[in-house]
Amino acid sequence: MTALIYLIPAALLLGLLGLAAFLWSLNSGQYDDLDSAPHRILFDDENEESEDSAGKN
């Protein structure tokens, strides 16, 4: 029973930390653009190819 005295506040603190991290991510714009990241992997960047070929010569 005395373990609950420590476990309940610890659980509440961890929950509040998780909520604070989620709210921070919302305010910092982490979820603003959810559509372009999955599509970005499908397209090759031409700038990276030219830089790679320039470094090989």
Residue 33: what pLDDT? 81
Q: List the domain boundaries for the chain.
A: 3-56
C-alpha to C-alpha distance for 10 and 12, rounded to whole angstroms: 5
Q: Per residue in 10-55, pLDDT tens? A: 999 999 999 999 999 999 988 888 788 778 888 877 766 555 565 5
CB contact set of 1 (below 8 Å; sequence gap of 6+): none
Nearest C-alpha neighbor of 21 from the set 32, 30, 11, 8: 30
Residue 14: what pLDDT? 98
